[in-house]
Amino acid sequence: MNSLIREWLNLLVRWFHIFAAIMWVGQTYYFTWLDGQFSRLAKIEIATSGLAKSGAPDGAGSSIWMVHSGGFYSVDRHKSLKVGPEQVRWFRWEALLTWVSGIVLLFLVYYSSSGLIDPDVANISQAAGVAIGLVVLAAGWHIYDGAARSPLARSEAMFAAFSLLMIAVLTWGLMHVFSGRAAYIHVGAVFGTIMTANVWFRILPSQRKMIAAAAAGETFDSSLSSEAKLRSKHNTFLAVPTVFIMISNHFPVATYGNRYGSEVLVALVLLGWAAAKVIREA
């Protein structure tokens, strides 16, 4: 592949990847904001009357009113399905397309070029580096998923501490195997893989069961809703550090090229989590 074709592919796939990510993260934070607003309304109603507002759908609380472009919009939250399953709008392709385009970029920029290996860091072959990268992506998801399904996840503080420790270990290890830039982007790729797998392997299956139960007039297991909500919450905390990693390759002196590159990344993950918390509660 000549350099001109490679550059155009890089540019077009990167453009696609960023726009798909904007659509995915935007709708994730929008629904997170809606959940927060409904929870806030429910608390206000309980505090003022002790009862859910009469006439509100399924006791969910008042509607959320918004203004955008040239109109007003009202959103209600329901605990039962009022329409046929075929009329329910799913949000799933944004996540998959973001991940697929990201993997294509990973192959274009690192796995099929010289950007992956730095002989001054580790003397390994390109094939070994690619194998390590792919194993890291798969292992990252399985370690996270196991922790999220374990008793550790019952404590938000303990789960966050465990996650930060794993991120620190992953970053340190990759910085001793790959070039600094490739190490950073692989941490971001692990985050992206976890977020996408959360959508397709944990959130969507739960939603399918909820819709099937609601369509049959049955009461669905509340744990389905809880798990989907937890994984969506985790995705909002992963999104901010992932965006930072995506743009970090433009600032090598401050990030992966810094002598404290591992510590910088871990610190920025913490800062990203703090920012995500502020956004979620805004």
* pLDDT tens profile 152-183: 999 999 999 999 999 999 999 999 999 999 99
Residues in the chain, how many?
A: 282
d(CA 135, CA 247): 24
Q: What is the pLDDT of residues 23-72, one digit of tens each?
A: 999 999 999 888 888 888 888 878 877 554 444 444 445 789 999 988 99
Q: What is the pLDDT of residue 53?
A: 47
- What's the token pair of residue 40? 């806030």
Distance linking the first and last C-alpha atoms of the chain = 48
Record the pTM: 0.90
**CA 162/CA 113 separation, integer angstroms:** 34
Q: What is the mean pLDDT of the chain?
A: 91
